[in-house]
Structure 1
Amino acid sequence: MSEDEKPAERRRMVRPPTGGTAAGRGMGQKMKTADTKSMSSQQWIKRQLADKWSERARAEGWRSRAAFKLIEIDDRFHLIKKGSRVIDLGAAPGGWIQVALDRGAAAVAGVDLLMIEPIPGATLLQADFTHPGVD
């Protein structure tokens, strides 16, 4: 680069963030068992604790932030009708099952390789739904 050429000037933020982290998120909560977790696990947990949707899901009693995705989809396309039957494949931790029941589904079944804590009104199965013997 010659002396006549100037490097492109970096754009700076108009206002620095107030509180939280540089990403603009809240400070979150402190982990109690950080010493037993890998660095990537610690970072994932910190992101989850600081995430506004995860925080809102915990506050409203949903099992996962994914519940808000199904609510938005159902508000737009009206997929879950009163009295309908729903199967949730890959159901853990059960947020979509909760929404289906909340929206009036009469029968909801959830299948996952992971154990799902019981949900009143839902039939839960810990199994591989791709296996021919699962019914």
Structure 2
Amino acid sequence: MTNRVIVGALPGGGRGLRVSRPGYDVTSTGLTGRQLAFDSRWPATARMFLNGTVTIGVVFPLAYYTVSFGTTFASVPPVIIIQRSTAGSDWQPVDGSRNDSWLPSGGIFEPARIYTDRIELAHPTFGGSREYCYLVMRPG
């Protein structure tokens, strides 16, 4: 599986957040803007609106934790979300397509829902808390 997200030390120097497009290894120093979805070192990066982290405990049945934007945009804003188990696992992208064993079904699930005024982050249903890191940019 291709590495797609880096949080921390970046290839070529500096620290920040870098996300590659599907099929490109984010650890490569030679990636172009067309191969990257986001690089916090870009001088003209999208205008950041909101960022933060939240730790969410186990709840059964499945429920969502809401992060409000405090405003309602005309369209859904670009959002980057990564998650990890608070038991010390690696950060993983939240893209809605992974199979995660911390839900009872063990199947495809929707770890985050993004709306024009909020994000809803899924509580784990067992196996310990999850920590989410999110970055919301202004749309358009």
Could you say which TM-score interval applies, normalised by the shorter chain? under 0.3
Q: Report which of the two has the higher share of strand.
A: 2
Q: Report which of the two has the higher share of helix.
A: 1
Taking structure 1 as the reference length, the TM-score comes to 0.19
Question: Over alpha carbons, which structure has the higher Rg?
Answer: 1
